[in-house]
Amino acid sequence: GNSVTQMEGPVTLSEEAFLTINCTYTATGYPSLFWYVQYPGEGLQLLLKATKADDKGSNKGFEATYRKETTSFHLEKGSVQVSDSAVYFCALSRSSGGSNYKLTFGKGTLLTVNP
């Protein structure tokens, strides 16, 4: 079945540091890939997505490139801010027919950015 593996956290960085959160997946066919972010006490927000190989998703300075050859979708940001402190989830969606696009999530990575 489908699965997503994220790097274990927590990750602690200083403001303006470079961020990488690794994500690899196992799926048949061509899944769509997502990064969601969960700020403390809040729900999940879509951060970025990519729907086919070599696509790059980007939003708010975050980027991730869909690499089919390595089955990866690593999240990067060049300069993190304290406000980026949150839990980040990598997820995939693979239709099994019709309009079923259930998401399979990784375990999440807690990021803490210190001033």
Partner 1 sequence: DSGVTQTPKHLITATGQRVTLRCSPRSGDLSVYWYQQSLDQGLQFLIQYYNGEERAKGNILERFSAQQFPDLHSELNLSSLELGDSALYFCASSAGQKETQYFGPGTRLLVL
Binding site for partner 1 (CB under 8 A): 32, 34, 36, 42-46, 49, 51, 89, 93, 95-96, 98-108
* Residue 3 and residue 94 in contact, taking contact as beta carbons nearer than 8 Å: no
With respect to partner 1, which residue has the nearer C-beta, 42 or 115?
42
Q: Tell me the closest approach of the beta carbon of residue 15 to partner 1, in angstroms.
A: 27
With respect to partner 1, which residue has the nearer C-beta, 57 or 84?
57
Residue 83: Cβ-neighbour burial (10 angstroms; 0-12, 13-18, 19+):
exposed
d(CA 94, CA 29): 8
Q: Tell me the closest approach of the beta carbon of residue 74 to partner 1, in angstroms.
A: 19
Please list the residues that pair with 45 across neighbouring strands: 37
Q: Tell me the closest approach of the beta carbon of residue 10 to partner 1, in angstroms.
A: 14
